[in-house]
Amino acid sequence: MDKTTRIITIVGGGTAGWLTAGVIAAEHMANSEQGIEVRLIESPDVNIVGVGEGTWPTMRGTLKKMGISETDFIRECDASFKQGAKFAKWVTGAENDAYYHPLVLPQGYEEINLVPFWQPHGDKVSFADAVSFQGHLCERGLAPKQNTTPEYAHVANYAYHLDAGKFAVFLQKHCTQKLGVKHILDHVIQVNAAENGDIASLTTKNSGDISGDLFIDCSGFNALLIGQHYQVPFICKKHILFNDSALACHVPYANKNDAIVSHTVSTGQSAGWIWDIGLPSRRGVGHVYSSTHISDAKAEAELRDYIRTSRADIADELTIRKIDIKPGHREVFWHNNCVAVGLSAGFLEPLEASALVLVELSAQMISEQLPASRAVMDIVAKRFNDKFLYRWDRIIDFLKLHYVLTKRTDSQYWIDNCKAETIPQALQSLLTLWRYESPWHHDFTQVDEVFPSASYQYVLYGMGFETLSRATQRRSQNAQQAEQQFRKNTELSQKLVAGLPTNRDLINKIHQYGLQKI
């Protein structure tokens, strides 16, 4: 049982597999004799799902740690900047119904909670605009930095939109050429168990048995190891998050230099919502919906209607791909010497781009706390499972929050979403609490919460949630300080709107000249 961890074998060559390989290989020096050996088996017969096109700001740190140049990444992965999400038609469904969930924290967030000071003015200015400048940048299609800003540094916090297929290829090249990851292009045909129930090796069609001390299942929905081999139960969450189907397509720009929207646009439909992601060379647009509430044909019609508003000329010709979603996750993620990362661990829905960030967080925790030997692996496994069960629950709560605050009653989908039996208990309690006190630092207490309390603020108050003001006064309610922060935000907004290039201009500049590392 005291076998040293020397070889990590990853199954699956999608984004999850290569990201995990890269994070571990970079930290554990897979390219050195003294480091850990990282192997990745990729089946040549399996296509990657490849619709994970939105990231979190964490991706910047992840790529940087892997030693990737941001210029190369942007050029080769058809990537552009994402500064948050705009939610349209989620509250009333009216044409002017929209709010922003930006990536910058509300102004002065460390010192002051601006919600109670903004609320009395809520009819004049949106919460996002009152406390952050980023919505103004998004509305104008501006970039989150200048071309003189170094790689990965920002003026306004940002994440990426990217081409998932190109991203996997890019990561593969970096992992194999720079980080020493061994790439085995073969099909796994059998899992060979050891006496203690661990995986001893994987038999492949052409490359024989591939051993490993730790196996990472990145085989996507197939869940080759965690599901098919270990039969770890899958916990379905469809009773909370109804969406179980998606239709995706690529929408070309009318003109090569059309504006690249610098945020994800998410537009509510009758039984789901449509994502719209701007890449430099095309848009990625898709409809995610509940098949219990709408037929595939009707969902497709809604998607084509949406595309028609911008590209009436081609809306009916675009090829649409169907993806089935089973919203939920495994009961545990780390079992014996096998840990699931990516779709094999679970998937909820594309809302708030939680898929890739879970891959990053998983890879990071595996890498940082990599058990030195088999003797301590079960301890780390338990920690990992506890942490990620907590994270999945918090993500489920946060995604559900977007639905329960709707005032839409125009379709059964929105009505059903607000039914108490579909809302997790923890979220119900929080919603009760937030009727009297707006969320802030004390609501989410883990150091590495997936969604910070600021995100809850943006969604709650973007959707018109009302927190009652206290009947009694508090010493810490400093109206003057709040006034200062509002003013600071206005000044910053004006300064940045004047000083930042458009997203398209910056992306073009990066393609032409590149960004400096310093």
Partner 1 sequence: MPNHQLLDNVRHKDLRILTLHQPAFGENASYGHVYLSEFRYVQGEYPILFRKNTDTAQFEAIALFGLAAEENLFMEENGWNASYVPLTVQRRPFLIGFQQDNQAEPKPVVHVDMDSPRISKSTTEGEAVFLPQGGQTPYLQHINSVLGRIHSGHIENKTFIDTLLQHELIESVAIKMELHDGSKLEFNNLYTINEEKLNALPADTLFTLHQQGYVNLIYMMIASMATLSRLIDMKNKRVRGI
* Binding stretches for partner 1 (CB under 8 A): 146-148, 509, 512-518
Shortest spacing between CB 354 and partner 1, in angstroms:
33
Q: Which is nearer to partner 1, 182 or 509 (CB)?
A: 509
Task: Give the tokens for residue 42.
Answer: 């990729």
Integer angstrom CA distances of residue 343 from 55, 119, 150, 359: 15, 40, 33, 9
Burial class (CB in 10 A: 0-12, 13-18, 19+), 13: buried
Burial class (CB in 10 A: 0-12, 13-18, 19+), 309: exposed
52 is in an annotated binding site: no
C-alpha to C-alpha distance for 263 and 57, rounded to whole angstroms: 12
Asked if 384 and 332 touch (Cβ cutoff 8 Å), the reply is: no
Nearest to 255 by CA among 196, 340, 313: 313
Shortest spacing between CB 300 and partner 1, in angstroms:
44
Asked if 373 and 430 touch (Cβ cutoff 8 Å), the reply is: no
Q: Which residues of 276-286 are buried (b: 16+ CB within 10 A; e: fewer)?
A: bbbbbeebbbb
Q: Which is nearer to partner 1, 31 or 69 (CB)?
A: 69
Q: Which is nearer to partner 1, 73 or 87 (CB)?
A: 73
Shortest spacing between CB 279 and partner 1, in angstroms:
22
Q: Which is nearer to partner 1, 47 or 148 (CB)?
A: 148
Helices H, strands E: what count in the chain? 15, 21
Q: Which is nearer to partner 1, 446 or 516 (CB)?
A: 516
188 is in an annotated binding site: yes
Shortest spacing between CB 68 and partner 1, in angstroms:
16
C-alpha to C-alpha distance for 424 and 239, rounded to whole angstroms: 10
Helix (H) or strand (E) holding 200: strand 199-204
Shortest spacing between CB 256 and partner 1, in angstroms:
21
Tell me the three state secondary structure of residue 476. Answer: coil
Active site residue 205: no
Question: Rounded to 5 degrees, what angle do the CA atoms 164, 169, 175 make?
Answer: 120
Catalytic residue among 64, 65, 82, 495: 82
Shortest spacing between CB 263 and partner 1, in angstroms:
24
Dihedral of alpha carbons 217, 152, 82, 119, sign:
positive
Q: In sequence order, which residues have a C-beta less than 8 Å from that of residue 331 and are 6 or more positions away? A: 232, 233, 234, 235
343 is in an annotated binding site: yes
Q: Which residue pairs from 298-301 have beta carbons closer than 8 angstroms and sit at least 24 positions apart in sequence?
A: 298/270, 299/245, 299/247, 299/269, 299/271, 299/272, 300/247
Task: Give the tokens for residue 428.
Answer: 């119900």
Q: Which is nearer to partner 1, 464 or 514 (CB)?
A: 514
C-alpha to C-alpha distance for 334 and 215, rounded to whole angstroms: 10
Q: Which is nearer to partner 1, 146 or 446 (CB)?
A: 146
C-alpha to C-alpha distance for 359 and 171, rounded to whole angstroms: 14
286 is in an annotated binding site: no
User: Which residue matches tokens 């000249």?
Assistant: 513
76 is in an annotated binding site: no
Q: Which is nearer to partner 1, 8 or 507 (CB)?
A: 507
Q: In sequence order, which residues have a C-beta less than 8 Å from that of residue 448 and are 6 or more positions away? A: 361
Helix (H) or strand (E) holding 174: helix 164-177
Shortest spacing between CB 158 and partner 1, in angstroms:
17
Q: Which is nearer to partner 1, 383 or 495 (CB)?
A: 495
405 is in an annotated binding site: no
Shortest spacing between CB 516 and partner 1, in angstroms:
6
13 is in an annotated binding site: yes
Asked if 327 and 350 touch (Cβ cutoff 8 Å), the reply is: no
Tell me the three state secondary structure of residue 85. Answer: strand
Shortest spacing between CB 59 and partner 1, in angstroms:
22
Binding residues, by number, are 13-16, 82, 188, 343, 352
Binding residues for 7-chloro-L-tryptophan, by number, are 82
Active-site annotation, residues: 82
Binding residues for L-tryptophan, by number, are 352
Binding residues for FAD, by number, are 13-16, 188, 343
